[in-house]
């Protein structure tokens, strides 16, 4: 039985760890420890407090006693018993806490070799992305609890105030507690629908980093990097073909990061990018994942999007891009995932294959339907097609419409530059 000071038993390994080693263990193990503590204690806030107390105890005891043989097990046990002791101390103000402490104390000691300990990370991801939570709360809670981003970092990334993000996280935890949302991996029957929610959250995080929705910077590498890290973690625990497709899609997009802006931070179009600055390791890894996902024959929208980006990535130059293959992939994507944005992307690909007139016809159909009337990229694409066809007054009007709708400063500068070029052509 563990001592009541929160120090688990066991022979410490030889040598006292340095503060840097303890910090490394925190970086690599804290989210795993937290996930297990949430399962054992049944409460996010209690588990976070227990995690903090466990590492405080480690900082005090490990330099003196040596590194435990299993630091993660030590930290979970320390956190669990620190939480129980804390509940007993507070029980004099709330009798229900004494009952909770007794209940936790009567639980069997965790068995460190069970698969449950790895599954705890999956449980945490699926709980944070539960469809009963609002979408913005899913994103905030995932970044906070799974990725260990601070509230201020999440707020900066999504241009929200720290208090707003904190409220989202608090409300999400309350919803999980009050609605008794189960802390578990979905069953096989539930998994497809639940996995969709997780993948959507990961891709939302990536997109906000890859191409911010507004603000002064086009790219937030820290956010896109967190999304890739999260997808890698999930794929290591759950080898699903569509998850492979999503990771491939993010890697292939991210491989172009260094070439997407110039030294002034201005946008560089895909066909004008210096392909020698693309990351070949990410392209190779992404392409291999696409092939694995396609070979499974369980092909979803993320895999098809990744296949499209792979065609771009593997073309030696913009002029050598296989636009026929890209058009075909977009047509298949539209069949399984109808979307006006995908229709717009197909129109751009069709214009590259068959000429601007063919693309403009589809763009005008989308405009008439009205679904993307307030989407700046639709007007930007129309402006480009009209410019290529010599219909300059229409091109100017479309660039002005796109400029009025754009929120991101680099995109605004790009559109203004195109408009100035047209005005100068007179």
Going by the DSSP 8-state scheme, the letter that residue 319 receives in this structure is G
User: Do residues 98 and 184 both lie within one domain?
Assistant: no
**Residue 46 maps to a domain:** yes
Question: Left (φ > 0), alpha (ψ -120 to 50) or beta: where does 212 sit?
Answer: beta
Question: Left (φ > 0), alpha (ψ -120 to 50) or beta: where does 68 sit?
Answer: beta
215 has which bridge partners?
408
Report how far residue 260's alpha carbon sits from residue 272's, in angstroms, rounded to the nearest whole number.
9
Q: Can you give the CATH number for the domain in which 351 is found?
A: 1.25.40.10
Which domain-ending residue is among 197, 213, 238? Answer: 238
Going by the DSSP 8-state scheme, the letter that residue 92 receives in this structure is T
User: Do residues 25 and 99 both lie within one domain?
Assistant: yes
Residue with tokens 């320390």: 78
**Residue 369 maps to a domain:** yes
Question: pLDDT value at position 212?
Answer: 54
Report how far residue 61's alpha carbon sits from residue 16's, in angstroms, rounded to the nearest whole number.
9
Supply 272's token pair.
Answer: 């004008």
**Residue 91 maps to a domain:** yes
**Distance from the Cα of residue 15 to its chain's centroid:** 38
Supply 179's token pair.
Answer: 């609605």
The pLDDT of residue 27 is above 80: yes
Question: pLDDT value at position 11?
Answer: 47
**Residue 364 maps to a domain:** yes
Residue with tokens 């588990």: 47
User: Do residues 349 and 407 both lie within one domain?
Assistant: yes
Higher pLDDT, 402 or 211: 402
267 has which bridge partners?
261
Listed ranges 222-231, 237-246, 275-284, 370-379; the one with the highest mean pLDDT: 275-284
Supply 380's token pair.
Answer: 């930007």
Using CA atoms, how far residue 261 sits from 74, 267, 365, in Å, is 47, 5, 32
Q: What is the mean pLDDT of residues 28-56?
A: 89
User: Do residues 100 and 130 both lie within one domain?
Assistant: no
User: Do residues 169 and 62 both lie within one domain?
Assistant: no
Total residues found in the chain within this entry: 426
User: Do residues 199 and 160 both lie within one domain?
Assistant: yes
Pick from 8-22, 34-48, 163-177, 251-265: least confident: 8-22
The pLDDT of residue 329 is above 90: yes
User: Do residues 233 and 128 both lie within one domain?
Assistant: yes
> Are the C-beta atoms of 223 and 205 separated by less than 8 Å?
yes
User: Do residues 104 and 125 both lie within one domain?
Assistant: no
> Are the C-beta atoms of 33 and 117 separated by less than 8 Å?
no
> Are the C-beta atoms of 304 and 336 separated by less than 8 Å?
yes
> Which of 265, 129, 116 is CA-nearest to residue 202?
129
Which domain-ending residue is among 86, 110, 134? Answer: 110
Which domain-ending residue is among 63, 84, 110? Answer: 110
How many folded domains does the chain comprise? 3
Residue with tokens 């002064």: 216
Report how far residue 84's alpha carbon sits from residue 75's, in angstroms, rounded to the nearest whole number.
14
Report how far residue 391's alpha carbon sits from residue 136's, in angstroms, rounded to the nearest whole number.
42
User: Do residues 105 and 125 both lie within one domain?
Assistant: no
User: Residue 89 — pLDDT band, cuts 50, 70, 90?
Assistant: low
- pTM of whole model > 0.85? no
3-state SS class at 87: helix
**Residue 310 maps to a domain:** no
**Residue 247 maps to a domain:** no
Residue with tokens 């047209």: 422
Pick from 34-48, 142-156, 281-295, 378-392: least confident: 142-156
Segment 67-83, tens digit of pLDDT: 888 898 899 989 988 88
User: Do residues 101 and 81 both lie within one domain?
Assistant: yes
> Are the C-beta atoms of 232 and 217 separated by less than 8 Å?
no
Pick from 154-163, 214-223, 232-241, 357-366: least confident: 214-223
**Residue 211 maps to a domain:** yes
Residue with tokens 């997808």: 231
21, burial (CB in 10 Å: exposed 0-12, middle 13-18, buried 19+)? middle
> Are the C-beta atoms of 377 and 358 separated by less than 8 Å?
no
DSSP string, 324-373: HHHHHHHHHHHHHS--HHHHHHHHHHHHHHH-HHHHHHHHHHHHHHTTTT
Residue with tokens 């009337």: 373
3-state SS class at 391: coil
Segment 336-387, tens digit of pLDDT: 999 999 999 999 999 999 999 999 999 999 999 988 998 999 999 999 999 9
User: Do residues 143 and 175 both lie within one domain?
Assistant: yes
Q: What is the mean pLDDT of residues 90-104?
A: 50
**Residue 24 maps to a domain:** yes
User: Do residues 23 and 89 both lie within one domain?
Assistant: yes
User: Residue 106 — pLDDT band, cuts 50, 70, 90?
Assistant: low
HEC string of 229-271? HHHHHHHHHCCCHHHHHHHHHHHHHHCCHHHCECCCCCECCHH
Domain range enclosing 142: 118-238
Using CA atoms, how far residue 272 sits from 155, 256, 277, 282, in Å, is 33, 12, 12, 20
């Amino acid at each position: 039985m563990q001592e009541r000071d929160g120090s688990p038993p066991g022979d410490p390994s030889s040598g006292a760890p340095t503060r840097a080693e303890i910090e490394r263990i925190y970086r690599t193990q804290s989210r795993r420890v937290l996930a297990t503590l949430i399962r054992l204690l049944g409460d996010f806030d209690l588990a976070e407090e227990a995690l903090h107390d466990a590492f405080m105890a480690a900082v005090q005891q490990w330099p003196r006693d040596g590194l435990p043989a299993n630091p993660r097990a030590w930290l979970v046990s320390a956190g669990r018993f620190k939480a129980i002791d804390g509940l007993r101390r507070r029980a004099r103000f709330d009798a229900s806490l004494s009952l909770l402490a007794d209940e936790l104390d009567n639980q069997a000691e965790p068995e460190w070799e069970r698969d449950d300990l790895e599954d705890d990370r999956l449980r945490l991801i699926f709980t944070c992305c539960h469809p009963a939570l609002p979408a913005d709360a899913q994103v905030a809670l995932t970044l906070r609890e799974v990725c260990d981003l601070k509230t201020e970092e999440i707020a900066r990334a999504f241009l929200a105030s720290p208090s707003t993000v904190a409220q989202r996280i608090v409300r999400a935890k309350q919803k999980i507690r009050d609605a008794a949302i189960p802390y578990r991996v979905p069953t096989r029957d539930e998994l497809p629908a639940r996995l969709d929610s997780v993948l959507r959250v990961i891709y939302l995080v990536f997109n906000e980093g890859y191409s911010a929705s507004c603000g002064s910077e086009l790219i937030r590498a820290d956010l896109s990097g967190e999304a890739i890290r999260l997808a890698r973690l999930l794929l290591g625990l759950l080898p699903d073909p569509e998850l492979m497709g999503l990771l491939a899609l993010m890697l292939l997009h991210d491989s172009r990061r260094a070439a997407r802006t110039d030294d002034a931070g201005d946008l560089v179009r895909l066909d004008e990018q210096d392909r020698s600055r693309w990351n070949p390791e990410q392209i190779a890894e992404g392409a291999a994942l696409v092939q694995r996902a396609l070979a499974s024959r369980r092909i979803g929208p993320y895999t098809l999007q990744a296949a499209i980006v792979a065609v771009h990535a593997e073309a030696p130059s913009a002029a050598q891009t296989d636009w026929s293959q890209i058009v075909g992939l977009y047509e298949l994507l539209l069949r399984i995932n109808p979307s006006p944005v995908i229709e717009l992307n197909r129109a751009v690909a069709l214009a590259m294959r068959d000429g601007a007139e063919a693309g403009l016809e589809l763009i005008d159909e989308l405009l008439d339907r009205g679904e993307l009337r307030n989407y700046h990229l639709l007007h930007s694409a129309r402006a480009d097609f009209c410019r290529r066809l010599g219909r300059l007054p229409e091109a100017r009007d479309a660039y002005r419409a796109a400029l009025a709708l754009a929120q991101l400063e680099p995109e605004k500068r790009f559109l203004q530059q195109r408009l100035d070029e047209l005005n100068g052509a007179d």
